Amino acid sequence: MLENLSKSAAQHVEAENEGLLSSLSARLIGAFERYMPDPFIVAILLTALTAALSLAFAPKATPTSVLAAWYKGLFDISGFAFLIALMLVTGYALSESPPVERFLSRVASAPRCVFSALLLAIFASALASMIHWALGLVVAGRLCRELTRNVRVDAAWLVAAAYSGFTLFSSGFSSAIYLISNTHGSNMNVVERLMGFTLPLSRTLLSNLNLSIIIALLITLPAVFWVARPRALADSPDAPDSGPDASETTHTGRTARSTFAEWLATSCVVNVFFALLCVAYFVSHGLPFDFVSVVVLFLVGGMVLHWTPRAYVASINRAARLTGPILLQFPIYGGIMGIVLSTGLADRIAELVIAVASPATLPLVTYLSSIVISLFVPSAGGHWAVQGPFVISAANHLHAPLAATIIGVAVGEGTGDMIQPMWLLPVIAITGVNIRRVMGFTTIAFIPMTLVSGLLLLLPFLHS
């Protein structure tokens, strides 16, 4: 009797706690929906904040120099922005090809309940993003679209969960920071320039600390999102749409080939020829593991799987309509990066880090500062350009564990992306959900993510 009463009381307390957390989640999401500006406005506000901080603290900052740095930076990452847009377009077209659509539909049909859909969204996005972050973005978006067709689930909540899995890219094979630190002769390899050696992946990517953080987050994230799940489905406007003009997404079938031009448009010859050219190049020159090669693989894969030029061009035209937010906002973040890099603001941050850190706490301090920098410089290469020099200098000055400090930068970048909307834009473009609701859920998960990774970075036995 007493045992039954105690079980009943425990279940009652658990239900009350879960209800409280759910209520807090609903309030936070409601606040985001009411008060969070459009991501474009957020980028403009971050520009103003960065300029103000530079004028207040940066040694080289004057109103004229800040303006010059901002204007120069606007299109410094225009090539990168184009590659991001091309990645989204080619990745979307690849995922829209008949074989991939059938595969995604089959995978998405496996979950029979909300919890299994949650696990699939997080783990699939995490796995894809750790292979390459560009792949992770496409998988997160397309998989969520398919899952919401088969399971009754709040679309924004599921997209937020999948995006949280994507943020593990910074700890995987696609981590620009780990790869740069292992690349001999790279201008971005601050470790080699300041310390005289490269840092092998065995000390970063494959280290006990990095693997422990990945495992801990893969356990933490499903638990957090399950507790924070909404008890009622969102209104239909927040559910993913069917993509750009779903009525047009039917794949081009066989048509009469009355002319030579028609024959070329509906034949596989052109697509196969282009694919063979790319394969020949990779065979003769090697396949580099970089962003451009991933875009080319998306391009070749999409052309082959769509089979005909007409089908592939139609898919690309539909996908191109998703790129507006990226093309608009990336130049703004380029301006922010220009201010940070040109005014000496990074040096001031370095002095602050050295002042508050010790050899044991530098990985944690670096991690927390990396989260802050991610808000202003959400590009991995730009992030390392800003933080790398003062982090390596601080580690050398304090004789702190170098690899753990660099891991702190990388993991902080991924954690910071939970509250930085820029990398959400491709996923939002694919799914069509309300970004304010998604940001509400990602902000909830940001807090336990910060705590879990921060605690592991403090454990000295993982620093070796």
Report pLDDT digits (tens) over 86-139: 877 888 788 788 888 888 788 888 888 999 999 999 999 999 888 877 778 888
What was the pLDDT predicted at 383? 72
DSSP E strands: which ranges in 53-207?
Answer: none
| Tokens at 171, concatenated | 């700890």
Domain range for 371 is 35-231+320-461
pLDDT bracket for residue 421 (50, 70, 90) = confident
Counting beta carbons within 10 angstroms of the beta carbon of residue 55, is it exposed (0 to 12), middle (13 to 18) or buried (19 or more)? middle
What was the pLDDT predicted at 25? 66
Q: What 3-state class would DSSP assign to 74?
A: coil
Please, what's the b/e burial string for 130-141 (b: 16 or more CB within 10 A of its CB; e: otherwise)?
bbbbbbbbbbbb
pLDDT bracket for residue 168 (50, 70, 90) = very high
| Tokens at 424, concatenated | 């959400």
The answer for 399, left when phi > 0, alpha when psi is -120 to 50, beta otherwise, is left
Within-domain flag for 264? no
**Is residue 14 pLDDT above 50, yes or no?**
no
Within-domain flag for 279? no
What was the pLDDT predicted at 57? 86
pLDDT bracket for residue 291 (50, 70, 90) = low
Within-domain flag for 453? yes
Residues 291 and 279: their CA atoms lie apart, in Å, by 17
Residues 288 and 132: their CA atoms lie apart, in Å, by 13
Q: Which candidate, 80, 79, 50, 160, places its Cα nearest to that of 380?
A: 80
Number of compact structural domains in the chain: 1
Lowest mean pLDDT among 11-15, 168-172, 211-215, 255-259: 11-15
What was the pLDDT predicted at 128? 87
In the block, tokens 């991939």 appear at 100
pLDDT bracket for residue 461 (50, 70, 90) = confident
What was the pLDDT predicted at 158? 95
Within-domain flag for 243? no
Lowest mean pLDDT among 179-188, 220-229, 304-313, 321-330: 179-188
pLDDT bracket for residue 6 (50, 70, 90) = very low
Within-domain flag for 303? no
Dump pLDDT digits (tens) for 149-166: 888 899 999 999 999 999
Lowest mean pLDDT among 35-39, 210-214, 368-372, 443-447: 35-39
Within-domain flag for 435? yes
Within-domain flag for 448? yes
**Residues 428 and 244: beta-carbon distance below 8 Å:** no
Q: What 3-state class would DSSP assign to 288?
A: coil
Rounded mean pLDDT of the chain? Answer: 81
Within-domain flag for 292? no
Lowest mean pLDDT among 74-88, 150-164, 378-392: 378-392
Counting beta carbons within 10 angstroms of the beta carbon of residue 259, is it exposed (0 to 12), middle (13 to 18) or buried (19 or more)? exposed
pLDDT bracket for residue 216 (50, 70, 90) = very high
**Is residue 295 pLDDT above 50, yes or no?**
yes
What was the pLDDT predicted at 240? 46
**Is residue 11 pLDDT above 50, yes or no?**
no
pLDDT bracket for residue 407 (50, 70, 90) = very high
How many CB atoms neighbour CB 288 within 10 A? Answer: 10
376 phi/psi in degrees, rounded to 5 = -100, -30
Which pTM value belongs to this model? 0.75
